[in-house]
């Protein structure tokens, strides 16, 4: 077990190293990084100062070392637009992103789990086929377009919901729907396949042979076991939601990390863009590590692998 | 399955979403979009980039205030929406297909090399693949466009760089099992070089999977392009891209100019949906092993 965890930790460390190297090299190989890291319209003296600070005259590995050293201290640079440290900015937006992701997750599970169970119980029949169409639509409709159509319908025509901003629960409904839509489809498909697997198992056959009513077999025996992979995926997806919400947050002017990224691009605020990408990657590597370890705790077979 | 279609009260030939039969409608849609993209210059009634400022925000022809001159209305600069949709098809097609092919070639080659050669090469390629897969695709693409600046061909390269990892993963997995097979061992005994084995014996056996993946990726790539354009880091204006049209459509959204938002979105949806259905069908048809994907 310890060996397994150590191996996973090492993999994650390698991932983080490659992640930082990717980001670092892409900024450097595409030309003069000062054009990205200096404010638009800066004077020659400012440019020289940044050059000096980045050590662009030194070797690339020295530059990388100093880049990593500042990251390790939580120094992601200064935002050109907000004139505050990027990391502080990021942390101040994180709660909003988490709130939106949580709401979207609740929505996607409320839709995905019941419809997935229905599809599995009625496999090959109407609900299963309807679910398939729903999943296909969920995977094919871009979330920002869903958002725009929602605004058109609920804000412009019906005037029920505010079209943008944050603050009340009403502000949360449409962005959560637009963001959760895609994930609802994914959760539905997984619930379905997971249910089907469990329903084919020996203990379900036994429960049926005992003469338990079908409703009890499904709710009590099958559902609980089928839920484990779904909830694991939901855990990963929560983190992914935080990091893919950029379009939805832009559509609804939701003040989260995605919106920060959008502001980063529009104001040519490169340190912000770089920090959002890096921290997003770090978050996902961390969650993957957590899931790997969790799986090993639950299922001893995994520990012995490789 | 056909015996059960009665459950929704429709004969099976109307069941256009079933995966068992040939997906006629999706193929017609993609074919239609491709046709429109090729003959955009002939088909478009107006210049897609030049507007008539005297005719801004005209609704489609069937609504009050619409005219036959602008069948699907005009945008905030008085540009013809129909013409922009037609030329937008060209952008989506060109970006979608070239990016998918670019990512597919890079990913397939690296997947084969990684899987067949193994060792440290495999380690290096797979660690990079894992790391890049961990980056959310859209965020990664935004980061890259922030560095190189937006242009149509930059977007193609960026999408290729972001998505090759998906191919590499799957292809490598297949190569790992292929290289244990008899015909590969015989080729080694016959004295074929590693390069020959990879190109002549392994590649033909993974090409089906690459095609299936490519079809499924087409939808993903088109949505990503639209999202990038929507955010202002994709295809630069005034080029008529569907994502860009959606961004422009926001200017008329709050006053209810629905056609600027709904129509480009419907185009994206039709194309992505069709690509996904065709991909699903191909997957079942060409490669039974990929069914559980």
pLDDT confidence of residue B7: 33
- The set of residues, in sequence order, having a beta carbon less than 8 Å from that of A177 and lying 6+ positions away, is A104, A107, A146, A150
The answer to whether A277 and B135 are in contact (CB under 8 A) is: yes
Here the contacts of A30-33 (C-beta below 8 Å, separation 24 or greater) are A30/B147, A30/B148
Residues in A 98-157 with any Cβ partner in B closer than 8 A: 124-126, 129-130, 132-133, 136-137, 139-142, 144-145, 148-149, 151-152, 155-157
Per the structure block, which two tokens stand in for A25? 């090299």
Phi, psi dihedral angles at B62 (to 5 degrees): -80, -5
Instruction: Give me the half-sphere count of Cα atoms (radius 13 Å) on the Cβ side of residue A143.
Output: 27
Cβ within 8 Å, pair B130-A151: no
pLDDT confidence of residue B14: 38
Cβ within 8 Å, pair A144-B128: no
- Which of A130, A156, A247 minimises the CB distance to B256? A156
Quickly count: other Cβ atoms within 10 Å of residue A25's Cβ: 12
- The set of residues, in sequence order, having a beta carbon less than 8 Å from that of B260 and lying 6+ positions away, is B73, B75, B76, B81, B245, B248, B249, B251, B252, B253
Mean pLDDT of chain B: 82
Min Cα distance B77 → chain A (Å) is 20
Min Cα distance A203 → chain B (Å) is 24
Is the whole model's pTM more than 0.80, yes or no? yes
pLDDT confidence of residue A302: 65
Residue count of chain A: 306
Tell which residue, A116, A179, A102, has the closest CA to residue A147: A179
Site of tokens 């009890």: A216
Cβ within 8 Å, pair B136-A126: no
pLDDT confidence of residue B106: 95
Question: How many Å apart are CA A25 and CA A19, to the nearest integer?
Answer: 10
pLDDT confidence of residue B2: 33
The answer to whether B110 and B104 are in contact (CB under 8 A) is: no
pLDDT tier at B11, thresholds 50, 70, 90: very low
3-state secondary structure of B184: helix
pLDDT confidence of residue B9: 35
Cβ within 8 Å, pair A280-B139: yes
pLDDT tens, chain A, 306 aa long: 788 888 888 888 888 888 888 888 887 776 666 777 776 667 777 777 777 766 666 777 887 888 888 888 878 877 777 878 888 888 888 998 999 999 999 999 998 888 888 888 887 778 888 888 888 887 788 888 888 888 888 877 787 877 777 777 778 888 888 888 888 888 888 888 888 888 888 888 888 888 888 887 887 778 877 887 888 788 888 888 888 888 888 888 888 888 888 888 888 788 888 888 888 888 888 888 888 888 777 777 666 654
Question: How many Å apart are CA B289 and CA A15, to the nearest integer?
Answer: 29
- Which of B147, B258, B262 minimises the CB distance to A27? B147
pLDDT confidence of residue B8: 36
Per the structure block, which two tokens stand in for B269? 């949806």
- Which of A18, A30, A157 minimises the CB distance to B256? A157
pLDDT confidence of residue B150: 81
pLDDT tens digit sequence for B211-228 = 888 988 898 899 899 889
Cα-based distances in Å from A69 to A64, A66, A75, A174: 8, 5, 9, 41
pLDDT confidence of residue B104: 94
pLDDT tier at B99, thresholds 50, 70, 90: very high
Stretch B122-142: mean pLDDT:
87
Quickly count: other Cβ atoms within 10 Å of residue A80's Cβ: 20
Quickly count: other Cβ atoms within 10 Å of residue B111's Cβ: 30
pLDDT tier at B19, thresholds 50, 70, 90: very low
Cβ within 8 Å, pair B143-A243: no
The answer to whether B268 and B223 are in contact (CB under 8 A) is: yes
User: Is A238 in the B-facing interface, judged by CB distances under 8 Å?
Assistant: no
Cβ within 8 Å, pair B273-A140: yes
Instruction: Give me the half-sphere count of Cα atoms (radius 13 Å) on the Cβ side of residue B278.
Output: 21
The answer to ipTM > 0.85 is no
pLDDT confidence of residue B289: 57
Stretch B21-35: mean pLDDT:
87
Tell which residue, B34, B15, B10, B35, has the closest CA to residue B25: B15
The answer to whether A68 and A16 are in contact (CB under 8 A) is: no
Chain A residues close to B253, C-beta within 8 Å: 148, 151-152, 156, 163
Count of pairs with CB atoms under 8 A, one residue in A, one in B: 144
Chain A residues close to B130, C-beta within 8 Å: 11, 15
Min Cα distance A28 → chain B (Å) is 10
pLDDT confidence of residue A104: 92
Stretch B143-152: mean pLDDT:
85
Chain B residues close to A264, C-beta within 8 Å: 146
Question: How many Å apart are CA B230 and CA B249, to the nearest integer?
Answer: 10
Chain A residues close to B131, C-beta within 8 Å: 14-15, 18-19, 22, 281, 285
The answer to whether B25 and B275 are in contact (CB under 8 A) is: no
Question: How many Å apart are CA B151 and CA B95, to the nearest integer?
Answer: 11
pLDDT tens digit sequence for B158-172 = 999 999 998 998 899
User: Is A70 in the B-facing interface, judged by CB distances under 8 Å?
Assistant: no
Cβ within 8 Å, pair B143-A274: yes
Residues in A 162-191 with any Cβ partner in B closer than 8 A: 163
Cβ within 8 Å, pair A273-B254: no
pLDDT confidence of residue B287: 62
The answer to whether B125 and B168 are in contact (CB under 8 A) is: yes
């Amino acid at each position: 077990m310890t060996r397994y965890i150590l191996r996973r930790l090492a993999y994650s460390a390698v991932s983080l190293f490659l992640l930082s190297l990717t980001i670092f090299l892409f900024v450097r190989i595409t030309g003069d990084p000062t054009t990205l890291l200096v404010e638009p319209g800066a004077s020659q003296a400012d440019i020289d100062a940044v050059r000096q600070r980045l050590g662009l005259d030194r070797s690339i590995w020295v530059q990388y070392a100093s880049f990593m050293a500042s990251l390790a201290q939580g120094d992601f640079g200064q935002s050109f637009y907000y004139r505050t440290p990027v990391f502080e900015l990021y942390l101040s937006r994180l709660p909003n992103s988490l709130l939106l992701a949580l709401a979207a997750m609740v929505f996607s599970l409320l839709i995905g789990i019941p419809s997935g169970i229905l599809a599995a119980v009625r496999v090959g029949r109407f609900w299963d086929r309807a679910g398939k169409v729903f999943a296909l639509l969920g995977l094919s409709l871009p979330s920002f377009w869903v958002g725009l159509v929602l605004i058109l319908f609920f804000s412009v025509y019906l005037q029920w919901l505010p079209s943008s901003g944050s603050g009340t629960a009403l502000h949360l409904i449409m962005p959560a729907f637009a963001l959760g839509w895609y994930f609802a489809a994914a959760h539905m498909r997984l619930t379905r396949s997971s249910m089907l697997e469990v329903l084919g198992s020996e203990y379900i056959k036994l429960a049926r042979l005992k003469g338990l009513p079908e409703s009890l077999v499904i709710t009590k025996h099958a559902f609980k076991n089928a839920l484990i992979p779904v909830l694991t995926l939901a855990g990963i997806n929560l983190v992914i939601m935080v990091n893919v919400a950029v379009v939805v947050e832009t559509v609804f002017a939701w003040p989260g990390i995605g919106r920060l990224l959008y502001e980063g691009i529009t104001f040519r605020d490169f340190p912000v863009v770089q920090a959002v990408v890096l921290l997003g990657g770090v978050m996902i590597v961390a969650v993957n590590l957590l899931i790997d370890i969790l799986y090993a705790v639950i299922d001893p077979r995994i520990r012995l692998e490789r | 399955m056909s015996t059960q279609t009665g459950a929704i009260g429709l004969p099976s030939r109307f069941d256009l979403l079933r995966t068992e039969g040939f997906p006629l409608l999706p193929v017609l849609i993609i074919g239609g979009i491709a046709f429109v993209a090729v003959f955009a210059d002939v088909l478009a009634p107006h210049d897609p980039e030049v507007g008539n400022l005297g005719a801004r925000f005209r609704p489609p022809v069937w609504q009050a205030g619409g005219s036959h001159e602008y069948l699907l209305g005009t945008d905030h600069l008085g540009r013809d929406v129909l013409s922009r949709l037609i030329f937008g098809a060209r952008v989506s097609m060109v970006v979608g297909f070239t990016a998918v092919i670019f990512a597919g070639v890079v990913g397939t080659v690296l997947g084969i090399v990684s899987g067949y050669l193994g060792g440290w090469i495999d380690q290096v390629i797979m660690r990079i693949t894992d790391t890049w897969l961990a980056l959310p695709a859209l965020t990664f693409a935004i980061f890259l466009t922030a560095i190189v600046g937006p242009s149509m061909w930059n977007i193609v390269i960026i999408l290729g760089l972001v998505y090759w990892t998906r191919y590499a993963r799957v292809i490598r997995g297949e190569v790992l099992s292929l290289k244990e097979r008899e015909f590969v061992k015989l080729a080694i005994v016959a004295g074929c070089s590693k390069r020959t084995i990879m190109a002549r014996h392994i590649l033909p056996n993974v090409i089906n999977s690459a095609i299936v993946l490519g079809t499924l990726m087409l939808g993903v790539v088109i949505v990503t392009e639209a999202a990038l354009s929507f955010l202002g880091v994709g295809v630069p204006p005034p080029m008529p891209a569907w994502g860009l049209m959606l961004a422009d459509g926001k200017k008329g959204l709050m006053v209810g100019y629905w056609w600027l938002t709904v129509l480009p979105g419907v185009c994206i949806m039709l194309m992505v949906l069709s690509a996904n259905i065709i991909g699903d069908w191909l997957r079942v048809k060409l490669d039974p092993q990929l069914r559980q994907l």
